[in-house]
Amino acid sequence: MKDTLGEKWFYAFNYVILSIIGLSCLLPLVHLFALSLSNNAAIVSGSVTLWPIGWNIESYDKLFFGTRILSGFQNSLVITIVGTVLNMIFTICCAYPLSRKFMYGRKFFTLAIIFTMLFSGGLIPSYLVVKSLGLIDTYGALWLPALVSVYNMLVMRSFFMGLPEEIEEAARMDGCSEVGLLLRIILPLSMPVMAALVLFYAVSHWNSFFNVMIYINSTAKYNVAVLVQQMIQSQTVLQDVANQSPEDLNSVTEESIKAAGVFVMTVPMLIVYPFLQKYFVKGVLIGSVKG
């Protein structure tokens, strides 16, 4: 069936708008990459746009060996990997019972959980609770309050509810227990939505900034997001680099080191996303439409 003239114009309009939005997200990153690889004269003169001028990689050398960015990467990996694993475990443990029709009071518990999306205790009560638990200056302060995202839990619950009941009945007739049903049947069928939620949780932990600033006091435990933010705000980046690496700094500028830091912080998520992208749209749409 051929598209009508109105549909063609609609598709063309969508492509134009989406292209503009995509370029508005991509071009600043490309500019930062070009800035991080350009020489001093081009950066100072402001002639760098979307292509490096001079091809100078000294900014990355000073970034990795003259700052604490590598330790920040290690901390970010710990926060992201452990946090995402805990998030998925507790989200599954919460979503699966609420998706079972035979669970007594599941509507009440679902509404009680949704209630937390509308009202929360606020920053100060949350801080006092974390402090009373002795989690200040530990990564537990980042993991425990965010164990389950209500929105993500509802998406996974809706996905579980949309699975065919015949599969579950056949598994139970074969003697499969409830735990076995979850681990051997439900979760393998739920890979699309799980991949999407893993991406949601991982991006949230990797970009975690505000909670780290509030709960983490030791600078040695800062993640890469906080270190890059401090680097951007600092007016003495070259002096800080010189204290760590006393080699000649004439080949780099503060702008190039800052641009390299922002680009390096963004790269890991850009690398992970293509591997999960094929599950991303399918998982979110199926989980959010059904149920």
Can you give the CATH number for the domain in which 146 is found?
A: 1.10.3720.10
Query: Could you report the per-residue pLDDT of 159-216, keeping only the tens digit for each?
Result: 888 888 888 888 888 788 888 888 888 888 888 888 889 988 999 999 888 999 999 9
pLDDT of residue 63: 82
**Could you tell me if 168 and 31 lie in one domain?**
no
270 CB-contact burial (10 Å; exposed 0-12 / middle 13-18 / buried 19+): exposed
Q: What percent of the chain has pLDDT over 90?
A: 22
Domain with 207 in it: 59-289
Question: Of 10, 32, 56, which residue sits at a domain end?
Answer: 56
- End-of-domain residue from the set 38, 56, 74: 56
Show Cβ contacts of residue 129 under 8 Å, excluding neighbours closer than 6 positions.
121, 145
Q: Quick check: 206 and 142 in contact, CB under 8 A?
A: no
178 lies in the same domain as 198 = yes
Same domain, 85 and 225: yes
Q: Which residue has the higher pLDDT, 169 or 150?
A: 150
Give the best-scoring range by mean pLDDT among 71-85, 102-116, 148-162: 71-85
- The answer on 76 and 47 residing in a single domain is no
- 202 and 141 belong to one structural domain: yes
- Asked whether residue 8 falls in the same domain as residue 79, the answer is no
Per-residue model confidence (pLDDT) at position 82? 95
Residues 51 and 63 in one domain: no
Checking if the pLDDT of 128 tops 80, the result is yes
pLDDT at 290 over 50: no
Query: pLDDT over 70 for what percent of the chain?
Result: 89
Q: Are residues 96 and 223 in the same domain?
A: yes
pLDDT digits (tens, 9 = 90+) for 208-267: 889 999 999 988 899 998 888 888 877 666 666 655 555 555 667 778 888 888 888 888
Q: Is the pLDDT of residue 282 over 80?
A: no
* 261, 69 contact by CB (below 8 A): yes
pLDDT given for residue 272 in this prediction: 81
> How many domains, in total, are found in the chain?
2
Q: Is the pLDDT of residue 291 over 50?
A: no
Average pLDDT on 120-137 reads 88
Contact 84, 76 (CB under 8 A): no
Same domain assignment for residues 276 and 200: yes
Burial class for 82, CB neighbours closer than 10 Å (0-12, 13-18, 19+): middle
pLDDT attached to residue 101: 82
Same domain, yes or no: 278 and 249: yes
Centre a 10 Å sphere on the Cβ of residue 14 and count the other Cβ atoms it contains.
10
Cα(99)–Cα(161) distance, rounded to whole angstroms? 5
Tokens of 287: 């989980």
- Burial of 202 per CB tally in 10 Å (0-12, 13-18, 19+): buried
Measuring CA to CA, which residue among 55, 74, 25, 27 is closest to residue 256? Answer: 55
Task: Give the model's pLDDT for residue 287.
Answer: 46
Collapsed DSSP state (helix, strand, coil) of residue 198 = helix
Do 85 and 195 reside in the same domain of the chain? yes
Backbone angles phi, psi at 290, to 5 degrees: -80, 155
Do 84 and 34 fall into the same domain? Answer: no
286 confidence band (pLDDT: 50, 70, 90): low
